[in-house]
């Protein structure tokens, strides 16, 4: 009885407990409520894609485009809101049906995931090398036609040089100095996993005789991308970061990730911008003297275009030819995109139109872009596609006189030397025929061409059509193994047109007119297969990636050139005799195959190790050396995890890496081939190529050591990232000159090494942060020193092709600097005093012997970026900093010889001091001479007029000291300033059409403080496509840089 009673009691208690539990569960289910609300950021903008989870369950939702969400949850549950880069929030429901939340950025997590080689996203703390990236909003704050300009001052160790102020002009980018003496030193560009060509032709399209080579600046092909389409740009600076990309990646890699769709309602975004621009700095010119000159015996002549004449009087009109030549430029930029998706697939569509009217009449740049990105999931299988099309058109003008002067005068060379006493707009007579200043007195080829004739009569343009695309697929075989494949293509067709009108002041051969067509067909195809394995063993996370890639690049160039039109007014090759026209076709193909692997290991998110290896086989090297292997190893230690938690140090990490990468050569450098430099339509000629092939070439090799320290304090409110690196690039492939008896001009050999040593520092801080106001600031500083050694015996200097004016050339020096300037010097004694001619007192010079007279590499560069957010207003500005680095002012060199420079304005008296060799004692004696313009002097028994002596000093002797035109340049410029206002959500939510509205005001290059006396010192005379040490820092007759303002509107539906 007793046992049965106890059992009965226990059963009853159990049943009561179950009943109570059922009642409680029923009550809980009965108390589930629908909770709705909106999630916004501190600027009151909606946050899309925020995860909203019921704590302790798998029940969840995601915010829509307008930040709204809806979820069913128990009335007493807790909602957890989380998003990348934002602080996770726990919000008790407390029976509320509406919950609105403002999420705050988490400074420690905001940028923790970064895109690395092969597009792999990794935690920043796991990397053994430096990586910096820039997001879409920062790119658009300094939006121009060339997205490279958005990187200026924002990434430590990255130097961007705008080539000129021409419409559609390209920009050059170099990361941590140059790695190749005679190859392209610009980084590899990878867009959505596909290598993207960024080449830039040098000057005109005539490779036949150099008549227009170096005579204009061109676009680089990265401009084919619409900046509005870019989600992120990640800069991989060192070989350790780029080793997996193979031979092209030695100068660094820039990874561009374009925008994708997101789960949620379809989103339409429209942006429009109207901009105006103007010249920000003109060359300094004298305003005292007219055209003309006095000869040796004091007779005046105006039979010259130079300005060594008499002073202006009150009755003389002075023309402001240079400033009046330029106009205000205009830009109309419109873009629209549509995006959306579900949990299984997303899409992104965009289209844009960009129109730029140049600051020179009859010049401009326009482009259209279209893009589609999409992906779809089928269980464990995902497929995706990216397709982009662009068409670009550039109207240009000849700005300088070309490599060998064959193009006649360029518009800028003529403009900067034009006398201010002459009206430069007068280039036609009343009857419409050409006006010549000295008609009947000299041959046409001796004239200085009028710039207005050049821009109105000659024609120069290029048109580029480009298609890029990729398909990709991935399959998650298991939770520890996945496989992915990507195939891609990058192809474009570029047509270039040059027309020199009959009657131009060009060499006699071309005075009957000249026509040139050139077509470039580029095709790059790639295939990439990757397999990834991951395993967790106790506290260790292990990852192994192996892959294989194939690349094939084909380039075909077709050109036709002719001169002397038969019938006036009909400008076609059919109107040129066969003997006066010729054509040329060149073909090249390069194939590269590679296998690679990467092993990663981490311990408790404290210690990280990465080891990579890649082996390439290239078609451009001989079989004995066409296979080369390059490894890398890197690691990091998050030592803050080993320290006691405190309120000051939030994060600290040391890192280090070593890497070796290779670089092959251009196709056919190992073989000596026949060449048909000119295929005349009346006959054909074939001969040896200028360059003798070398079957023993080996790849260039770059080895790198890098170490760094990162730390963040006060929960991310303050932080820094410091890097030291040393890169050695050896086995340089150069082409020294051969003796003419060999039958060749050049020979490719492995010789020389480049060493780059440098430091980078990035500081970031949030000085103020509260509900309504936030101040963010970032300071980037970097310094690099590049040196050259190991050139051939007796080879003291290596010149850069296409970069020369007068005696000044861009050059690299053996046992000296990489970014050098060579030039002539005045003769000096041991104490540095100028040696003067005993009779004339003029400085002596051996101008056939050139020396290193300058170093174009800056001591350090930097950028100081500030952003202020107050409610719905954002104000940001970027200061760009440069200290040191020489610039050759070739424009002033030219203007000085023409009597147009401000430096030659004091020409009434000339005093020269130095030493001179006494012809009797042969000893150097102190000497000072003084000449006055209106007096006559007898020198060595010959009468000399003072004005002529002074003119010859400035025009002939002063330029022999190249250093007279070199400035060690510093600058501080307001690179960009940006103001925006976003319409508050409480206003927007009153209607259901517009989801967001922002208006913007932007200024570019509005202020420049510099000791440089010329135009804007950010210049590259031959454009952005020059190889080797480039033409940056050589300023000669370029189109001036611009400043500008723009207003914009961004709408989201």
State yes or no: pLDDT of 826 exceeds 70.
yes
Mean pLDDT (whole number) for 1001-1008: 96
Q: How confident is residue 801, by pLDDT bands cut at 50, 70 and 90?
A: low
Given a cut of 70, whether residue 20 has pLDDT beyond it is no
Dump pLDDT digits (tens) for 746-787. 888 999 999 999 999 999 999 998 888 999 999 999 999 999
Residue 678 has pLDDT above 60, yes or no: no
Q: What is the rounded average pLDDT of the residues 479-499?
A: 95
Q: Is the dihedral of CA 637, 642, 645, 649 positive or negative?
A: negative
Residues 531 and 598 in one domain: yes
pLDDT, position 900 = 97
Q: Tokens for 629, please give them.
A: 């292997």
Q: Would you state the pLDDT for residue 393?
A: 96
Same domain assignment for residues 21 and 48: no
pLDDT at site 653: 96
Mean pLDDT of 662-682: 74
pLDDT at 144: 82
DSSP assignment of 908-954: SEEEEEEEEE-TTT--EEEEEEEEETT-EEEETTEEEEHHHHHHHII
What are the E-state strand segments in 501-648?
Answer: 514-537, 540-563, 581-603, 607-618, 627-637
Please give the backbone phi and psi of residue 224, each rounded to the nearest 5 degrees, phi first. Answer: -70, -10
To which H or E segment does residue 674 belong? Answer: strand 674-675
Quick one: 45 and 179 in the same domain?
no
Q: Which of 134, 180, 188, 178 is nearest to 156 (CA)?
A: 134
DSSP 901: B
Residues 907, 981: one domain?
no
- Distance separating alpha carbons of residues 985 and 994, to the nearest angstrom: 10
Given 943, 967, 991, the domain boundary residue is: 967
The closest of 731, 727, 596, 735 to 663, measured between CA atoms, is 731
Q: Which residue has the higher pLDDT, 34 or 84?
A: 34
Asked if the structure places residue 197 within a domain, the reply is: yes
Domain count across the chain: 4
CA distances from 644 to 28, 235, 639, 640, 648 (A): 43, 34, 10, 8, 11
Exposed, middle or buried, 2 (CB in 10 Å: 0-12/13-18/19+)?
Answer: exposed
Model confidence at 937: pLDDT above 90: yes
| Pairwise pLDDT comparison (212 vs 71), residue with the higher score | 71
pLDDT exceeds 50 at position 12: no
Domain with 508 in it: 126-282+327-819+856-885+969-1052
- Domain boundary residue among 967, 997, 1028? 967
Is there a single domain that holds both residue 659 and residue 561? yes
Which residues touch 431 (CB under 8 Å, ≥6 apart)? none
Residue 65: give its domain's CATH number: 2.60.40.4130
Q: Which of the residue ranges 396-400, 410-414, 517-521 would you say has the lowest mean pLDDT?
A: 396-400
Domain CATH for 708 = 2.40.170.20
- Identify the weakest region by mean pLDDT among 246-255, 706-715, 737-746: 737-746
- pLDDT score for 211: 45
Residue finishing a domain among 967, 994, 1009: 967
Does residue 119 belong to any structural domain of this protein?
Answer: no
Query: Residue 550: inside a domain, yes or no?
Result: yes
Asked, for residue 744, whether it belongs to a domain, the answer is yes
Which one, of 248, 134, 257, 133, lies nearest residue 192 by Cα? 257
Whether 845 maps to a domain, the answer reads no
pLDDT category of residue 191 using cuts at 50, 70 and 90: very high
Least confident of 53-57, 255-259, 611-615: 53-57
pLDDT above 50 for 36: yes
Q: What is the pLDDT of residue 120?
A: 80
Task: Name the band, by pLDDT with cuts 50, 70 and 90, for residue 404.
Answer: very low
Q: Which among 163-167, 240-244, 309-313, 583-587 has the top mean pLDDT?
A: 309-313
Q: Specify whether 35 is located in the same domain as 130.
A: no
Q: What percent of the chain has pLDDT over 90?
A: 63
How far from the centroid of its chain's Cα atoms is residue 642's Cα? 41
Mean pLDDT of the chain: 88
DSSP result, 562-580: EE-BSSTT--SGGGB-GGG
More confident call, 472 vs 8: 472
pLDDT in tens, 299-334: 999 999 999 999 999 889 999 999 999 999 999 999
* Sheet-wide strand order for 966-968: 966-968, 886-889, 1034-1035
pLDDT, mean of residues 71-90? 85
Output the pLDDT for position 1027. Answer: 81
Highest mean pLDDT among 77-81, 398-402, 510-514, 812-816: 812-816
Percent of the chain with pLDDT over 70: 92
Residue 11: what pLDDT? 42
Determine the Cα–Cα distance for residues 52 and 367; give it in Å rounded to an integer: 42
Q: Is residue 838 assigned to a domain? A: no
Residue 623 has pLDDT above 60, yes or no: yes
Which of 800 and 408 is assigned the larger pLDDT?
Answer: 800
Report the pLDDT averaged over residues 680-701.
Answer: 75
Closest-CA residue to 130 (of 913, 561, 538, 709): 709
Q: What is the pLDDT of residue 146?
A: 86
Asked whether residue 913 falls in the same domain as residue 770, the answer is no
Answer yes or no: is 438 within a domain. Answer: yes
Bigger pLDDT: 1006 vs 263: 1006
What is the DSSP-derived secondary structure letter of residue 108?
A: T
Residues in the chain: 1053
Please give the average per-residue pLDDT across 367-383, as a whole number. 95
Mean pLDDT check: name the lowest of 52-61, 107-116, 488-497.
107-116
Q: Select the more confidently predicted residue: 359 or 210.
A: 359
Q: What is the pLDDT of residue 932?
A: 96
Give the separation between CA 970 and CA 842, rounded to whole angstroms. 32
Q: What is the pLDDT of residue 107?
A: 60
pTM score > 0.85 for this model?
A: yes
DSSP state of 992: S
Q: Report yes or no: 220 and 232 within 8 Å, Cβ to Cβ.
A: no
Q: What is the 3-state secondary structure (H, E, C) of 190-223?
A: EECCEEECCCCCCECCCCCCCCCECCCCCCCHHH
pLDDT tier, 662 (very low <50, low <70, confident <90, very high otherwise)? confident
- 433 and 533 both lie in a single domain: yes
The pLDDT of residue 116 is: 82
How remote is the C-alpha of 1035 from its chain's centroid? Answer: 18
**CA-to-CA distance for 455 and 396, rounded, in angstroms?**
9
Q: Bridge-partner residues for 778, per DSSP?
A: 764, 865
Do 918 and 945 sit in the same domain of this protein?
yes
Q: What are phi and psi of 240, to 5 degrees?
A: -65, -30
Q: Specify whether 22 is located in the same domain as 37.
A: no
Please report the pLDDT score of residue 677 as a whole number.
58
Answer yes or no: is 457 within a domain: yes
Min mean pLDDT across 226-235, 630-639, 797-806 is at 797-806
Q: Are residues 918 and 877 in the same domain?
A: no
616 and 539 in a common domain: yes
């Amino acid at each position: 009885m007793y046992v049965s009673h106890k059992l009965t009691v226990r059963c009853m208690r159990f049943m009561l407990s179950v009943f109570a539990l059922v009642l409680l569960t029923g009550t809980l289910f009965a108390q589930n409520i629908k909770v709705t609300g909106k999630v916004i950021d501190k600027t009151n903008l909606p946050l899309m894609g925020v995860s909203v989870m019921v704590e302790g369950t798998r029940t969840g939702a995601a915010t829509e485009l307008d930040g709204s969400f809806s979820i069913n949850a128990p009335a007493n549950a807790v909602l957890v809101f989380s998003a990348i880069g934002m602080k996770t929030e726990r919000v008790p429901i407390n029976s509320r049906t509406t919950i609105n939340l403002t999420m705050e950025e988490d400074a420690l997590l905001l940028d923790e995931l970064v895109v690395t080689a092969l597009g792999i996203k990794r935690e920043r703390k796991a990397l053994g090398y430096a990586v910096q990236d820039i997001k879409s909003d920062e790119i658009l704050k300094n939006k121009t036609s060339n997205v490279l300009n958005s990187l200026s001052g924002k990434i430590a160790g990255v130097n961007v040089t705008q080539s000129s102020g021409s419409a559609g002009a390209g920009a050059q980018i170099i990361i941590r100095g140059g790695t190749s003496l005679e190859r392209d030193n610009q980084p590899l560009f990878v867009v959505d996993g596909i290598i993207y060509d960024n080449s830039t032709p040098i000057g005109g399209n005539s490779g036949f005789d150099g008549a227009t080579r170096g005579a204009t600046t061109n676009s680089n092909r990265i401009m084919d991308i619409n900046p509005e389409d870019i989600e992120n740009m990640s800069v991989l600076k060192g070989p350790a970061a780029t080793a997996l990309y193979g031979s092209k990646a030695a100068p660094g890699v820039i990874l561009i990730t374009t925008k994708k769709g997101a789960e949620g309602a379809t989103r339409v975004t429209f942006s429009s911008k109207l901009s105006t621009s103007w010249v920000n700095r003109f060359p300094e010119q004298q305003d005292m003297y007219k055209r003309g000159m006095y000869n040796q015996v004091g007779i005046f002549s105006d039979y010259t275009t130079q300005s060594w004449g008499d002073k202006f009087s009150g009755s003389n009109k002075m023309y402001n030819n240079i400033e009046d030549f330029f106009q205000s430029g205009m830009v109309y930029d419109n873009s629209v995109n549509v995006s959306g998706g579900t949990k299984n697939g997303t899409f992104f569509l965009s289209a844009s139109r960009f129109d730029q009217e140049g600051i020179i009449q009859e010049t401009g740049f326009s482009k259209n872009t279209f893009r589609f990105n999409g992906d779809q999931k089928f269980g464990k299988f995902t497929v995706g596609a990216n397709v982009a099309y662009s068409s670009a058109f550039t109207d240009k003008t000849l700005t300088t006189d070309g490599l060998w002067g064959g193009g006649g005068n360029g518009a800028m060379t003529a403009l900067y030397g034009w006398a201010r006493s002459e009206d430069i707009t007068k280039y036609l007579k009343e009857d419409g025929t050409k006006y010549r200043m000295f008609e009947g007195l000299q041959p046409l080829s001796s004239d200085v061409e009028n710039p207005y004739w050049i821009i109105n009569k000659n024609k120069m343009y290029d048109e580029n059509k480009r298609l890029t695309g990729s398909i990709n697929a991935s399959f998650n075989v298991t939770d520890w193994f996945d496989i992915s494949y990507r195939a891609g293509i990058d192809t474009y067709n570029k047509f270039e047109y040059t027309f020199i009108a009959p009657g131009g002041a060009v060499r006699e051969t071309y005075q009957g007119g000249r026509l040139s067509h050139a077509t470039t067909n580029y095709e790059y195809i790639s295939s990439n297969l990757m397999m990834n394995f991951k395993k967790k063993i106790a506290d260790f996370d292990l990852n192994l990636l192996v892959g294989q890639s194939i690349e094939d690049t084909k380039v075909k160039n077709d050109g036709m050139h002719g001169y002397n039109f038969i019938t006036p007014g009909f400008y076609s090759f059919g109107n040129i005799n066969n003997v006066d026209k010729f054509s040329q076709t060149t073909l090249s193909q390069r194939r590269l195959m590679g296998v690679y692997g990467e092993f990663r290991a981490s311990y408790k998110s404290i210690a990280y190790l990465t080891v990579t290896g890649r082996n390439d086989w290239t078609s451009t090297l001989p079989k004995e050396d066409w296979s080369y292997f390059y490894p890398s190893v890197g690691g990091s230690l998050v030592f803050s995890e080993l320290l006691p938690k405190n309120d000051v140090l939030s994060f600290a990490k040391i890192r280090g890496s070593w890497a070796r990468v290779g670089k092959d050569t251009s196709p056919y450098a190992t073989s000596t081939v026949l060449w048909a430099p000119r295929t005349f339509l009346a006959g054909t000629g074939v001969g040896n190529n200028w360059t003798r092939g070398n079957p023993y070439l080996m790849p260039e090799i770059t080895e790198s050591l890098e170490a760094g320290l990162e730390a963040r304090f006060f929960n991310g409110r303050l932080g820094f990232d410091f890097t030291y690196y040393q890169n050695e690039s050896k086995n340089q492939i150069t082409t020294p000159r051969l003796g003419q008896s060999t039958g060749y001009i050049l020979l490719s050999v492995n010789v020389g090494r480049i060493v780059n040593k440098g430091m980078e520092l990035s500081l970031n801080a949030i000085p103020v942060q509260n509900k309504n106001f936030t101040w963010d600031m970032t300071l980037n500083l970097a310094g690099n020193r590049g040196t050259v050694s190991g050139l051939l015996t007796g080879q003291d200097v290596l010149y850069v092709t296409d970069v020369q004016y007068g005696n000044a050339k861009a050059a690299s020096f053996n046992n000296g600097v990489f970014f050098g300037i060579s030039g002539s010097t005045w003769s000096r004694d041991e104490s540095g005093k100028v040696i003067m001619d005993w009779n004339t007192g003029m400085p002596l010079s051996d101008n056939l012997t050139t020396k290193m007279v300058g170093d174009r590499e800056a001591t350090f560069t930097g950028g100081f970026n500030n952003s202020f957010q107050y409610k719905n207003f954002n104000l940001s500005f970027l200061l760009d900093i440069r200290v040191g680095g020489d610039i050759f002012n070739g424009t002033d060199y030219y203007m000085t010889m023409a009597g147009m420079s401000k430096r030659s304005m004091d020409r009434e008296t000339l005093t020269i001091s130095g030493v001179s060799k006494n012809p009797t004692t042969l000893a150097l004696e102190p000497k000072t001479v003084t000449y006055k313009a209106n007096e006559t002097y007898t020198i060595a028994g010959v009468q000399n007029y003072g004005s002529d002596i002074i003119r010859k000093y400035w025009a002939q002797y002063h330029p022999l000291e190249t250093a007279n035109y070199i400035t060690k340049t510093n600058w501080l410029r307001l690179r960009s300033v940006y103001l925006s206002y976003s319409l508050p959500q409480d206003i927007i939510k009153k209607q259901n059409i517009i989801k967001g509205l922002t208006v913007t005001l932007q200024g570019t290059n509005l202020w420049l403080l510099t000791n440089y006396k010329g135009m804007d010192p950010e210049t590259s005379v031959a454009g952005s496509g020059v190889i080797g040490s480039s033409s940056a820092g050589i300023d000669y007759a370029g189109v001036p840089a611009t400043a500008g303002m723009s207003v914009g509107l961004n709408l989201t539906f």
